[in-house]
Each structure stands twice: as structure tokens, then as C-alpha cells.
Amino acid sequence: MGSSALGAIAALDAWAAKANAVREKAGDGPSAMPTVFIGHGSPMNAVRDNSFTRFLRSFAGTVPRPTAVAVVSAHWLTDGVTAAGVQTRPRTIHDFGGFPRELHEVQYAAPGAPELARAAAGLVRNGDRPGMPTEAWGLDHGAWTVLRHLYPKADIPVFQISIDYPKPAPFHYAVGQQLRALRSRGVLVLGSGNIVHNLGAMDRGAADGPATRDWARSFDDAVALALSQRNDGALQRYEQLDTSARTAVPTPDHYWPLLYVLGAAKPDEKAVTVFEGFQSGTLGMRCVKFG
């Protein structure tokens, strides 16, 4: 481990010590956190009451309360660097169009975690280039539409980590491994995307439930099988998982967050599907927890 990574670990430990002191004062002890992938679906889930949002509201009570949440969202894509948001108060980004005013008016006013985000950036290696702290982003809808249900009081510090989009699958998996150290400091590493995501092939108006197209069901089943076997190599080679891969994942932006969570999982941790199904017929909502 290089000196810069050791410095990041030291900074992470210092942050965790302060966070745990606050927890102990409140009667809570430090807790190692799971790592979780959430299939976030339509932005409208932020304001809807459905089986998925009811799952989110109940799921938070099944895991320890985190000291902070680090989100890897399909909607923050960078080129040549992995960035970490160091805002004191991340802005709510409405990164979509054509939705009702109600959705554009939603604010998720959670505090940021600048010290922690800087330490997280220090854990990441992009070749010889470290992660980059930045105030240029905030919380996009891949983050806040999920967190609004998980932690509706917006009282847990949150920061985002970007996806260096052009990099190949093993790179994203490796960054997840580098971020694993966050978990033992009470940080929930949360990936937000969709395993099956082809906006041009959705069956709009279809009821939430099973897939309406064979290709969507087939690829989701192939990923579920590979997860159950902890076949991390096969999940990185997702194009070879099933003949439906090209249709199910026409671009990997929504698939990459799964690899961060997979990398952050310890090799002996089993994948547990905590929610599954489809919205709009082909939008895969599978959610998976490790640890």
C-alpha cells in the first residue's frame, strides 16, 4: 500500500473516531456496514408509493444506522478520474426532463461529509492518479430518489463517488475493492443503477412485476445466478453472461454501480437479493446486499 493510501486510511480512521464518539454519546456503538446495490428505476419512484418504495422504507431498519452513505450513482460519469463530492451541503440535482413539477420541487437536504469524502478519494487509484475531491456535483437522482425513502429525515451525511465511465469492468470492480475500507468505519457503500436498463425498449404502462420481455428476464436471471455463485469474474464479463446482454445493457452506465458494490464486498460474503421485479416491463429493479 502506497504512502498516499496509508494517509487516506489514517484520515478515514480519524473521521471514524469522531463519528463513533457521537454515536456512543447517543447510545450507539460503531457498526460494520453491508454494501448494497439498489435498482433505482424511474425518478418518479421518489414520490410514488409502490412495492419498491415500501421496500426501501422498510429496508433501512434491517441494517445498522450508518455514520455516512457513499453513493456510486449511474448518473455521475467522469472521464479519466474518479471524483468524490466534498460539499458541506450537497445540492439536489434534478438531472432529468419531462417529469411533473412535483418531482422538480423535491429537495434532499442531507449534510455532506467533506473530510470523509476526501479520505475516500485518497483510497482510490486510477493508474498513478488518485481520486479527485470536487465540489462540482451534488446528489443526483440516482442518489436522492433512493435516500429519500431510506433515510427520509435526511439526517445522515452523504457524498457521491463518480464513475470513470470509459474504463473497463475490472477497473470499476477494483475501485469498489479500494472503497471496501469505508465499510468497517460505519459507512454504507451504496451503488445505484439498474441491472437491466434499456430505456428505448421499455413497455411503458406495464404494471410493476415480472418482465414483459424474455430478453429482460433472461439477463436478470443470468446475473442473479452469477451473484448466487459469487462468480465475480463472470459479472465483470457481463457481455458474455447471456445472449440477451447487448439488449439488456446497451450502455454500461447503469450496470457499473453493481461492480463497485461487488468489489466492496468481501470474497466470503454471499449476495442476498432483497428486492426483485421490473418496472415498465423491462427495467430491472433487482437490489442486492452483501454482509
Which CATH class for the 3-290 domain?
A: alpha beta
Cite the DSSP H helix spans in 106-185: 114-123, 141-150, 169-179
Q: Choose the weakest-confidence range: 124-128, 166-170, 183-187, 258-262.
A: 124-128
Place 29 in a pLDDT band, splitting at 50, 70 and 90. low
C-alpha cell at 190: 451504496
Predicted confidence at residue 217, as pLDDT, reads: 98
The pTM of the full predicted model, rounded to 2 decimals, is 0.92
Give the tens place of pLDDT for each residue, 52-78: 999 999 999 999 999 999 999 999 999
* Cα gap 138→243, rounded to integer Å: 37
* 3-state per-residue secondary structure call for 227-271: HHCCCHHHHHCHHHCCCCHHHHCCCHHHCHHHHHHHHHCCCCCCE
Q: What number is the average pLDDT over the span 11-28? A: 64
Measuring CA to CA, which residue among 83, 37, 74, 42 is closest to residue 251?
Answer: 74
126 sits in which H/E element: strand 125-126
Strand partners, 132: 83
Over residues 26-42, the mean pLDDT reads: 83
Q: Name the nearest CA neighbour of 174 among 107, 232, 245.
A: 232
Q: What average pLDDT score do residues 79-90 get?
A: 97
Q: Of 13 and 286, which is predicted with more confidence?
A: 286
For residue 240, pLDDT over 70 is answered with: yes
